[in-house]
Structure 1
Amino acid sequence: MSLKARITEDMKTAMKAKEATRLATVRLLLAAIKQKEVDERVELDDTAVAAVIEKLVKQRKDSVSQYQAAARQDLADAEQAEITILAAYLPEKMSSEETAAAVAAAVAETGASGPADMGKLMAVLKPRLAGKADMAEVSKLVKAALAG
Structure 2
Amino acid sequence: MLREKLQAQMKEAMKSRDALRLSAIRMVISAVKNRDIELRRELNDAEITDTIVTLCKQRRESIRLFKEAGRQELVDKEEAELELMMSFLPQQLTREELEALVMKTITEVAAAGAKDMGKVMKALQPSVAGRADGKLVSEIVKEKLA
Fold shared, TM-score > 0.5 on shorter chain: yes
Q: Kindly, what percent of the aligned residue pairs are identical?
A: 38
Tell me the equivalent position of 1:57.
56
Aligned length: 146
Any idea what the Cα deviations from partners look like across 1:101-131, whole Å, max 9, x if unmatched? 1111111111121222211111110111111
Q: What residue identity is the alignment partner of 2:32? A: I
Q: What residue identity is the alignment partner of 1:16? A: K
TM superposition score normalised by structure 1: 0.89
Q: CA deviation at 1:21?
A: 1.4
Question: Aligned pair 1:76/2:41, yes or no?
Answer: no
Any idea what the Cα deviations from partners look like across 1:19-57, whole Å, max 9, x if unmatched? 211111111100101111221233222222222112112
Q: What residue identity is the alignment partner of 2:49? A: A
Q: What residue identity is the alignment partner of 1:9? A: A
**Where does 1:38-57 land on structure 2 (aligned, <5 Å)?**
38-57=37-56
In 1: Cα distance, 2:71 partner to 2:85 partner: 22
TM superposition score normalised by structure 2: 0.90
**Where does 1:81-92 land on structure 2 (aligned, <5 Å)?**
81-92=80-91
In 2: Cα distance, 1:58 partner to 1:117 partner: 26
**Where does 1:57-136 land on structure 2 (aligned, <5 Å)?**
57-136=56-135
In 1: Cα distance, 2:88 partner to 2:114 partner: 35
Q: CA deviation at 1:10?
A: 0.7
Tell me the equivalent position of 1:4.
3
Unaligned runs of 5+ in 1: none
Unaligned runs of 5+ in 2: none
